Structure 1
Amino acid sequence: MKWIVLKRTIDYDGSQISSLWGYMEADLQEDSIIAFRGSCDVQIRHMIDLEDRKEGDSIYSTDMLHFVIEHFDSTDLKLIYTRQRLFASIVAETLLQRGIRTSRAGDDLFVQGKKLSISIASTSAVSQKIHFGMNVEHNVYGCLSDQGVPEKDMFSMMEEIASRYVEEVHDIEKDLRKSRPLSVI
């Protein structure tokens, strides 16, 4: 698995959750996590969450840190939702190390009772995908700027989160290769 943090701004519109976006955007043909910064405006046609779609919810932010994850080893929806929650926990741990206390409910992070993040997971015929976004600036929801995260630290925080997720996945795969199967008695 590889990670990359893009230096250019990309505005997230929901199309980035499509299969093989990492290949088209950054020439990554393996499991990957691509981080970038930009606004977020997910239109109804790109909404994966049917509850949001039925409610006609708006998913909008002027400035977010985005993480798009793709795994090719399975198309199991339960597995990608588990990975999504693992990722949210890694983000929460990373923020706590920076002095920002969050709470997690499923795949969502909250800071001082305000929703800080958005996330969705889904599968296609070839891969599993996760999008996770965190508000940098927002006048209604929680945001990193209100928590005192300096502008100069945003890029390094994306690198740290992405690399920690990749390390966790590699560690899991290493453990899989050292455990013997249970025997039937």
Structure 2
Amino acid sequence: MTITHKHVDEIFEYDGSQINPSWAFQEFGIYGSSIITWIGPVNITPDNLKDFADVGLEIKSNYMANFICEFFDQQPPNMRVAYLRQRLLVMIFREILSEYGIATKREGDDIFVDERKLSISIASVSLSSAKIHFALNLEDKGTPDDVDTIGLYDIKDNNNNQIFNEDNLVDLINKTVDRFIDEIETIEKDISKTKVLL
């Protein structure tokens, strides 16, 4: 499976509509499986909520790194596989944070640093594709009052220096996407070379 990654420099809001099928094709003319990344605020409107557990809750932030993944390799799309890939993406990002010396905790698809929520995510399927939205707070601003949050720019090293900033954020995004794509492609290769049990 070929997966196309496009990082969009333009800042725009994630309102939940981007999880709709074939959004990457409609917006950017990208055919097939893709990962679109960009920086922008998140404010999910009630009509675009996909998680029944989130109904009535605010999901918003002034400034986030957004990932929209879409996969067409399974027909019909499989919700279980979509969630497994979502968790794989989350775990890969935690692995990268650990390489920077950042301790994290995971609860399902949520990442926490110092007991503060860093990320949001959802996975779902349409009739034609599986979709994932994964987003990381950059600053602890504009988030719901009842959630203790943290942003990537708020994280400091042992010398109280900022670890992530505007200069290295896109590199962090690209590193995450590259590892995620490599993991999926490696799984495909392993499947193709493995003898089935008889």
Shorter chain as denominator, the TM-score bin is: over 0.9
Residue 38 of structure 1, CA deviation: 0.1
Q: Which of the pair is proportionally richer in strand? A: 1
Residue 47 of structure 1, CA deviation: 0.3
Percent of aligned positions that are identical: 36
Which SS does the other structure have where 2:25 is aligned? helix
Question: Given residue 58 of structure 2, which amino acid in structure 1 is its aligned partner?
Answer: S
Q: For the residues of structure 1 that align with 2:33 and 2:191, how far apart are their CA atoms?
A: 17
Q: For the residues of structure 1 that align with 2:37 and 2:96, how far apart are their CA atoms?
A: 15
Question: Which residue among 72, 84, 87 is the counterpart of 1:85?
Answer: 87
Structure 2 unmatched ranges of 5 or more: 142-147, 156-161
Q: For the residues of structure 2 that align with 1:29 and 1:95, how far apart are their CA atoms?
A: 31
Runs of at least 4 residues off by over 3 Å: none
1:107 matched residue in structure 2: 109
**Residue 156 in structure 1 maps to residue 171 in structure 2:** yes
Question: Which residue among 10, 13, 16 is the counterpart of 2:15?
Answer: 13
Which SS does the other structure have where 1:25 is aligned? helix
**Alpha-carbon displacement from aligned partner over 1:48-104 (angstroms, at most 9, x marks no partner):** 011111xx1000100000000001122111110111000000111111122222111
Q: Which of 93-102 and 173-182 deviates more? A: 93-102
Structure 1 unmatched ranges of 5 or more: none
For the aligned residue pairs, the C-alpha RMSD in angstroms reads 1.0
Residue 145 of structure 1, CA deviation: 0.9
Which SS does the other structure have where 1:165 is aligned? helix
Q: For the residues of structure 2 that align with 1:67 and 1:103, how far apart are their CA atoms?
A: 20
1:22 matched residue in structure 2: 24
**Residue 131 in structure 1 maps to residue 146 in structure 2:** no
**Residue 172 in structure 1 maps to residue 187 in structure 2:** yes
Question: Given residue 163 of structure 1, which amino acid in structure 2 is its aligned partner?
Answer: D
Q: Which has the higher contact order (CA 8 A, sep 6+)?
A: 1
Q: TM-score, normalised by structure 2?
A: 0.88
1:98 matched residue in structure 2: 100
2:38 matched residue in structure 1: 36
Q: For the residues of structure 2 that align with 1:8 and 1:96, how far apart are their CA atoms?
A: 29
Q: For the residues of structure 1 that align with 2:172 and 2:134, how far apart are their CA atoms?
A: 14
> 8 Å contact 1:2–1:166 — kept in the other structure?
no
Q: Which of the pair is proportionally richer in helix? A: 1
Q: TM-score, normalised by structure 1?
A: 0.94
> 8 Å contact 1:111–1:142 — kept in the other structure?
yes
Which SS does the other structure have where 1:39 is aligned? strand
